Structure 1
Amino acid sequence: MYLGISIAFAAAACAEAVIQERKAHSLRRTLTSTEEQLLAFEKSAKCMEASLKTVTAEKEFASVRAYNLDKALHDGENAACTLRRSLQEARAELQLEKDEHERATKELSAAKREIETLKSDRHALEEALIREKETSEHWKSEHDKEYYARLTTEGRVSREISNILNYSGSGRGQEDLYADEY
Protein backbone atom coordinates (compact mmCIF):
# COMPACT_ATOMS: atom_id res chain seq x y z
CA MET A 1 0.00 0.00 0.00
CA TYR A 2 2.78 2.27 0.66
CA LEU A 3 4.03 1.30 -2.68
CA GLY A 4 0.66 1.90 -4.28
CA ILE A 5 0.38 5.16 -2.50
CA SER A 6 3.94 6.00 -3.52
CA ILE A 7 3.18 4.98 -7.11
CA ALA A 8 -0.03 6.94 -7.02
CA PHE A 9 1.84 9.86 -5.56
CA ALA A 10 4.62 9.31 -8.09
CA ALA A 11 2.03 9.07 -10.92
CA ALA A 12 0.31 12.08 -9.54
CA ALA A 13 3.69 13.78 -9.20
CA CYS A 14 4.54 12.72 -12.79
CA ALA A 15 1.20 13.92 -13.99
CA GLU A 16 1.70 16.99 -11.93
CA ALA A 17 5.25 17.34 -13.41
CA VAL A 18 3.88 16.88 -16.95
CA ILE A 19 1.21 19.45 -16.21
CA GLN A 20 3.82 21.71 -14.60
CA GLU A 21 6.11 21.10 -17.58
CA ARG A 22 3.26 21.93 -19.98
CA LYS A 23 2.48 24.98 -17.86
CA ALA A 24 6.20 25.85 -17.80
CA HIS A 25 6.39 25.28 -21.56
CA SER A 26 3.27 27.41 -22.02
CA LEU A 27 4.68 29.97 -19.61
CA ARG A 28 8.00 29.80 -21.48
CA ARG A 29 6.19 30.44 -24.77
CA THR A 30 4.18 33.19 -23.12
CA LEU A 31 7.36 34.56 -21.54
CA THR A 32 9.20 34.36 -24.88
CA SER A 33 6.33 36.06 -26.67
CA THR A 34 6.10 38.57 -23.81
CA GLU A 35 9.88 39.11 -24.04
CA GLU A 36 9.53 39.55 -27.81
CA GLN A 37 6.67 41.93 -27.19
CA LEU A 38 8.77 43.65 -24.55
CA LEU A 39 11.69 43.92 -26.98
CA ALA A 40 9.31 45.20 -29.64
CA PHE A 41 7.86 47.68 -27.13
CA GLU A 42 11.39 48.70 -26.14
CA LYS A 43 12.27 49.19 -29.81
CA SER A 44 9.01 51.11 -30.27
CA ALA A 45 9.78 53.14 -27.15
CA LYS A 46 13.29 53.87 -28.44
CA CYS A 47 11.86 54.78 -31.86
CA MET A 48 9.20 56.88 -30.21
CA GLU A 49 11.82 58.49 -28.01
CA ALA A 50 13.94 59.19 -31.10
CA SER A 51 10.80 60.43 -32.87
CA LEU A 52 10.01 62.55 -29.83
CA LYS A 53 13.52 63.98 -29.93
CA THR A 54 13.17 64.55 -33.68
CA VAL A 55 9.72 66.07 -33.22
CA THR A 56 11.02 68.21 -30.35
CA ALA A 57 13.97 69.34 -32.50
CA GLU A 58 11.61 69.98 -35.42
CA LYS A 59 9.28 71.83 -33.07
CA GLU A 60 12.17 73.97 -31.84
CA PHE A 61 13.31 74.49 -35.44
CA ALA A 62 9.73 75.33 -36.44
CA SER A 63 9.48 77.71 -33.48
CA VAL A 64 12.75 79.42 -34.46
CA ARG A 65 11.63 79.48 -38.08
CA ALA A 66 8.23 80.88 -37.09
CA TYR A 67 10.02 83.56 -35.04
CA ASN A 68 12.31 84.36 -37.98
CA LEU A 69 9.33 84.43 -40.35
CA ASP A 70 7.43 86.68 -37.94
CA LYS A 71 10.47 88.94 -37.70
CA ALA A 72 10.87 88.90 -41.51
CA LEU A 73 7.16 89.68 -41.88
CA HIS A 74 7.49 92.56 -39.44
CA ASP A 75 10.60 93.81 -41.26
CA GLY A 76 8.74 93.41 -44.57
CA GLU A 77 5.82 95.43 -43.22
CA ASN A 78 8.24 98.13 -42.05
CA ALA A 79 9.93 98.10 -45.45
CA ALA A 80 6.53 98.29 -47.16
CA CYS A 81 5.58 101.28 -44.97
CA THR A 82 8.91 102.94 -45.80
CA LEU A 83 8.39 102.24 -49.50
CA ARG A 84 4.83 103.61 -49.30
CA ARG A 85 6.15 106.78 -47.68
CA SER A 86 8.90 107.03 -50.30
CA LEU A 87 6.33 106.47 -53.03
CA GLN A 88 4.10 109.19 -51.59
CA GLU A 89 7.08 111.56 -51.39
CA ALA A 90 8.07 110.66 -54.95
CA ARG A 91 4.49 111.26 -56.11
CA ALA A 92 4.49 114.64 -54.33
CA GLU A 93 7.83 115.54 -55.96
CA LEU A 94 6.52 114.33 -59.31
CA GLN A 95 3.42 116.49 -58.90
CA LEU A 96 5.62 119.48 -58.03
CA GLU A 97 7.79 118.77 -61.08
CA LYS A 98 4.68 118.39 -63.21
CA ASP A 99 3.29 121.71 -61.94
CA GLU A 100 6.69 123.34 -62.52
CA HIS A 101 6.80 121.86 -66.03
CA GLU A 102 3.30 123.15 -66.79
CA ARG A 103 4.25 126.59 -65.47
CA ALA A 104 7.44 126.58 -67.55
CA THR A 105 5.44 125.45 -70.60
CA LYS A 106 2.97 128.30 -70.07
CA GLU A 107 5.85 130.77 -69.68
CA LEU A 108 7.47 129.36 -72.82
CA SER A 109 4.19 129.74 -74.72
CA ALA A 110 3.85 133.31 -73.45
CA ALA A 111 7.45 134.01 -74.48
CA LYS A 112 6.77 132.53 -77.94
CA ARG A 113 3.67 134.70 -78.30
CA GLU A 114 5.70 137.73 -77.20
CA ILE A 115 8.42 136.83 -79.71
CA GLU A 116 5.82 136.55 -82.46
CA THR A 117 4.38 139.91 -81.42
CA LEU A 118 7.86 141.43 -81.42
CA LYS A 119 8.54 139.93 -84.85
CA SER A 120 5.34 141.40 -86.26
CA ASP A 121 6.18 144.74 -84.58
CA ARG A 122 9.67 144.52 -86.08
CA HIS A 123 8.25 143.87 -89.54
CA ALA A 124 5.91 146.82 -89.11
CA LEU A 125 8.81 149.00 -87.94
CA GLU A 126 10.99 147.81 -90.84
CA GLU A 127 8.22 148.68 -93.27
CA ALA A 128 7.78 152.08 -91.57
CA LEU A 129 11.56 152.58 -91.74
CA ILE A 130 11.56 151.72 -95.45
CA ARG A 131 8.71 154.17 -96.03
CA GLU A 132 10.55 156.76 -93.93
CA LYS A 133 13.74 156.21 -95.96
CA GLU A 134 11.78 156.57 -99.19
CA THR A 135 10.14 159.73 -97.83
CA SER A 136 13.48 161.11 -96.63
CA GLU A 137 15.09 160.31 -100.01
CA HIS A 138 12.20 162.07 -101.73
CA TRP A 139 12.52 165.11 -99.48
CA LYS A 140 16.30 165.03 -99.81
CA SER A 141 16.00 165.11 -103.60
CA GLU A 142 13.43 167.92 -103.25
CA HIS A 143 15.78 169.75 -100.90
CA ASP A 144 18.71 169.20 -103.26
CA LYS A 145 16.63 170.55 -106.15
CA GLU A 146 15.65 173.54 -104.08
CA TYR A 147 19.24 174.03 -102.94
CA TYR A 148 20.61 173.87 -106.47
CA ALA A 149 17.83 176.14 -107.66
CA ARG A 150 18.66 178.60 -104.92
CA LEU A 151 22.36 178.38 -105.76
CA THR A 152 21.54 178.93 -109.40
CA THR A 153 19.26 181.78 -108.51
CA GLU A 154 21.84 183.28 -106.18
CA GLY A 155 24.44 182.89 -108.93
CA ARG A 156 22.20 184.70 -111.42
CA VAL A 157 21.41 187.40 -108.92
CA SER A 158 25.06 187.91 -108.12
CA ARG A 159 25.89 187.99 -111.88
CA GLU A 160 23.11 190.47 -112.44
CA ILE A 161 24.43 192.63 -109.64
CA SER A 162 27.91 192.28 -111.06
CA ASN A 163 26.60 193.25 -114.52
CA ILE A 164 24.79 196.22 -113.11
CA LEU A 165 27.83 197.34 -111.22
CA ASN A 166 30.13 196.71 -114.16
CA TYR A 167 27.77 197.96 -116.85
CA SER A 168 29.70 199.56 -119.61
CA GLY A 169 26.78 200.48 -121.76
CA SER A 170 27.13 197.68 -124.23
CA GLY A 171 24.72 194.68 -124.41
CA ARG A 172 27.48 192.24 -124.04
CA GLY A 173 27.11 191.65 -120.29
CA GLN A 174 23.43 190.89 -120.71
CA GLU A 175 24.10 188.12 -123.18
CA ASP A 176 26.47 186.36 -120.83
CA LEU A 177 23.83 186.37 -118.17
CA TYR A 178 21.29 184.45 -120.20
CA ALA A 179 23.76 182.20 -122.03
CA ASP A 180 23.68 179.57 -119.26
CA GLU A 181 19.94 179.15 -119.47
CA TYR A 182 19.91 177.99 -123.10
Structure 2
Amino acid sequence: MGDRKDVRPGVGAPAAEPGRVAYDHHWARDLHSSIRCSAAFLALLFAIDWGTGDLTWWRSALWLTLALLLFLVLCPPRVCAGEGWMASRALLRSRRVRTDLLVSVRTLDGVAQLLVLRDAVGGRVEIDPRVLVNNPDLWYRLDEDARKSAASGCLRSGTDTLRHFSERLERETALTVFRISGLDS
Protein backbone atom coordinates (compact mmCIF):
# COMPACT_ATOMS: atom_id res chain seq x y z
CA MET A 1 0.00 0.00 0.00
CA GLY A 2 2.81 2.45 0.80
CA ASP A 3 2.56 5.96 2.20
CA ARG A 4 -0.45 7.90 1.04
CA LYS A 5 -0.86 11.59 1.71
CA ASP A 6 -4.27 12.93 2.62
CA VAL A 7 -5.49 14.73 -0.49
CA ARG A 8 -8.62 16.82 -0.97
CA PRO A 9 -10.80 15.26 -3.67
CA GLY A 10 -10.67 16.98 -7.01
CA VAL A 11 -7.91 19.39 -6.02
CA GLY A 12 -4.81 17.25 -5.62
CA ALA A 13 -3.47 19.40 -2.79
CA PRO A 14 -2.83 18.02 0.68
CA ALA A 15 -5.77 18.56 3.03
CA ALA A 16 -5.20 20.95 5.89
CA GLU A 17 -5.16 19.50 9.36
CA PRO A 18 -8.46 20.26 11.02
CA GLY A 19 -8.06 23.19 13.39
CA ARG A 20 -8.67 22.93 17.08
CA VAL A 21 -12.26 23.60 18.10
CA ALA A 22 -12.77 26.14 20.89
CA TYR A 23 -15.67 25.75 23.31
CA ASP A 24 -17.36 27.91 25.94
CA HIS A 25 -15.74 26.59 29.12
CA HIS A 26 -18.38 28.15 31.37
CA TRP A 27 -21.39 26.60 29.59
CA ALA A 28 -21.81 23.65 31.98
CA ARG A 29 -21.69 25.95 35.01
CA ASP A 30 -24.27 28.26 33.44
CA LEU A 31 -26.50 25.28 32.56
CA HIS A 32 -26.34 24.02 36.15
CA SER A 33 -27.23 27.52 37.40
CA SER A 34 -30.30 27.63 35.18
CA ILE A 35 -31.36 24.18 36.43
CA ARG A 36 -30.87 25.25 40.06
CA CYS A 37 -32.87 28.47 39.56
CA SER A 38 -35.74 26.58 37.93
CA ALA A 39 -35.72 23.91 40.65
CA ALA A 40 -35.65 26.53 43.43
CA PHE A 41 -38.54 28.37 41.78
CA LEU A 42 -40.54 25.13 41.56
CA ALA A 43 -39.75 24.22 45.17
CA LEU A 44 -40.81 27.70 46.33
CA LEU A 45 -44.13 27.46 44.48
CA PHE A 46 -44.78 23.96 45.86
CA ALA A 47 -43.89 25.08 49.39
CA ILE A 48 -46.24 28.07 49.23
CA ASP A 49 -49.13 25.95 47.92
CA TRP A 50 -48.45 23.16 50.40
CA GLY A 51 -48.25 25.64 53.28
CA THR A 52 -51.59 27.21 52.38
CA GLY A 53 -53.21 23.84 51.68
CA ASP A 54 -53.98 24.74 48.05
CA LEU A 55 -51.70 22.17 46.39
CA THR A 56 -53.68 20.22 43.79
CA TRP A 57 -52.59 18.16 40.81
CA TRP A 58 -53.54 20.83 38.28
CA ARG A 59 -51.73 23.56 40.22
CA SER A 60 -48.71 21.26 40.44
CA ALA A 61 -48.83 20.83 36.65
CA LEU A 62 -49.05 24.62 36.25
CA TRP A 63 -46.05 25.21 38.54
CA LEU A 64 -44.07 22.51 36.73
CA THR A 65 -44.86 24.19 33.40
CA LEU A 66 -43.77 27.58 34.73
CA ALA A 67 -40.51 26.11 36.05
CA LEU A 68 -39.89 24.47 32.67
CA LEU A 69 -40.50 27.77 30.86
CA LEU A 70 -38.09 29.51 33.23
CA PHE A 71 -35.47 26.87 32.42
CA LEU A 72 -36.01 27.40 28.67
CA VAL A 73 -35.49 31.15 29.10
CA LEU A 74 -32.39 30.78 31.29
CA CYS A 75 -30.72 27.88 29.45
CA PRO A 76 -27.54 29.23 27.81
CA PRO A 77 -26.67 28.41 24.21
CA ARG A 78 -23.53 26.33 23.69
CA VAL A 79 -21.00 28.29 21.63
CA CYS A 80 -18.09 26.68 19.80
CA ALA A 81 -15.80 27.79 17.00
CA GLY A 82 -13.28 26.27 14.66
CA GLU A 83 -11.23 27.51 11.79
CA GLY A 84 -13.64 29.41 9.54
CA TRP A 85 -16.86 28.84 11.52
CA MET A 86 -18.71 29.61 14.75
CA ALA A 87 -21.83 27.86 16.03
CA SER A 88 -24.40 28.53 18.72
CA ARG A 89 -26.60 25.62 19.79
CA ALA A 90 -29.61 26.25 22.02
CA LEU A 91 -32.22 23.73 23.12
CA LEU A 92 -34.57 24.36 20.22
CA ARG A 93 -32.25 25.55 17.43
CA SER A 94 -28.72 25.52 16.16
CA ARG A 95 -27.12 28.31 14.15
CA ARG A 96 -23.80 28.43 12.35
CA VAL A 97 -21.91 31.18 10.60
CA ARG A 98 -18.84 31.13 8.36
CA THR A 99 -16.46 33.51 10.12
CA ASP A 100 -14.08 33.50 7.18
CA LEU A 101 -16.93 34.90 5.02
CA LEU A 102 -18.33 37.49 7.43
CA VAL A 103 -20.36 40.27 5.83
CA SER A 104 -21.40 42.20 8.94
CA VAL A 105 -20.84 42.35 12.67
CA ARG A 106 -23.03 44.50 14.88
CA THR A 107 -24.25 44.75 18.43
CA LEU A 108 -27.87 44.64 19.54
CA ASP A 109 -28.58 46.56 22.70
CA GLY A 110 -31.58 45.57 24.75
CA VAL A 111 -32.10 43.68 27.97
CA ALA A 112 -28.85 41.86 27.17
CA GLN A 113 -26.25 43.00 24.68
CA LEU A 114 -25.73 40.60 21.76
CA LEU A 115 -23.09 40.40 19.06
CA VAL A 116 -24.72 39.53 15.71
CA LEU A 117 -22.54 37.88 13.05
CA ARG A 118 -23.75 37.47 9.43
CA ASP A 119 -21.94 35.65 6.65
CA ALA A 120 -22.07 35.76 2.86
CA VAL A 121 -24.03 32.50 2.58
CA GLY A 122 -26.92 33.66 4.78
CA GLY A 123 -25.80 32.35 8.16
CA ARG A 124 -26.51 34.37 11.29
CA VAL A 125 -25.40 33.84 14.88
CA GLU A 126 -26.20 35.92 17.97
CA ILE A 127 -23.66 35.62 20.78
CA ASP A 128 -23.51 37.13 24.24
CA PRO A 129 -20.24 39.14 24.26
CA ARG A 130 -19.48 37.87 27.77
CA VAL A 131 -18.96 34.41 26.26
CA LEU A 132 -16.12 35.82 24.16
CA VAL A 133 -14.71 37.78 27.10
CA ASN A 134 -14.71 34.66 29.31
CA ASN A 135 -13.25 32.42 26.58
CA PRO A 136 -10.25 34.04 24.88
CA ASP A 137 -9.81 31.06 22.54
CA LEU A 138 -13.29 31.72 21.07
CA TRP A 139 -12.40 35.38 20.63
CA TYR A 140 -9.11 34.45 19.00
CA ARG A 141 -10.91 32.23 16.44
CA LEU A 142 -13.43 34.98 15.65
CA ASP A 143 -10.84 37.76 15.47
CA GLU A 144 -8.50 35.77 13.23
CA ASP A 145 -11.25 34.85 10.77
CA ALA A 146 -12.79 38.35 10.84
CA ARG A 147 -9.39 39.74 9.83
CA LYS A 148 -9.36 37.33 6.89
CA SER A 149 -12.86 38.49 5.91
CA ALA A 150 -11.82 42.13 6.12
CA ALA A 151 -8.65 41.50 4.11
CA SER A 152 -10.62 39.76 1.36
CA GLY A 153 -13.13 42.64 1.23
CA CYS A 154 -16.02 40.48 2.35
CA LEU A 155 -16.57 42.23 5.71
CA ARG A 156 -18.48 45.37 4.72
CA SER A 157 -19.67 46.59 8.10
CA GLY A 158 -18.55 45.90 11.61
CA THR A 159 -14.82 46.51 11.67
CA ASP A 160 -15.38 49.33 14.18
CA THR A 161 -17.56 47.04 16.31
CA LEU A 162 -14.84 44.40 16.34
CA ARG A 163 -12.17 46.99 17.16
CA HIS A 164 -14.23 48.36 20.08
CA PHE A 165 -14.89 44.85 21.32
CA SER A 166 -11.18 44.01 21.05
CA GLU A 167 -10.30 47.10 23.08
CA ARG A 168 -12.91 46.13 25.70
CA LEU A 169 -11.49 42.61 25.89
CA GLU A 170 -7.93 43.90 26.30
CA ARG A 171 -9.06 46.37 28.99
CA GLU A 172 -10.90 43.65 30.95
CA THR A 173 -7.95 41.29 30.61
CA ALA A 174 -5.56 43.96 31.94
CA LEU A 175 -7.91 44.69 34.87
CA THR A 176 -8.05 40.98 35.68
CA VAL A 177 -4.26 40.76 35.63
CA PHE A 178 -4.01 43.80 37.92
CA ARG A 179 -6.66 42.36 40.27
CA ILE A 180 -4.89 39.00 40.51
CA SER A 181 -1.50 40.59 41.07
CA GLY A 182 -2.86 42.97 43.73
CA LEU A 183 -2.09 46.16 41.79
CA ASP A 184 -5.68 47.38 41.51
CA SER A 185 -5.78 49.64 44.56
Kindly name which structure, 1 or 2, has the bigger radius of gyration based on alpha carbons: 1
TM-score band (shorter)?
under 0.3
More helix by share: 1
Q: Please, what TM-score do these two structures have when normalized by structure 1?
A: 0.18
**Structure possessing the higher relative contact order (Cα contacts under 8 Å, 6 or more residues apart):** 2
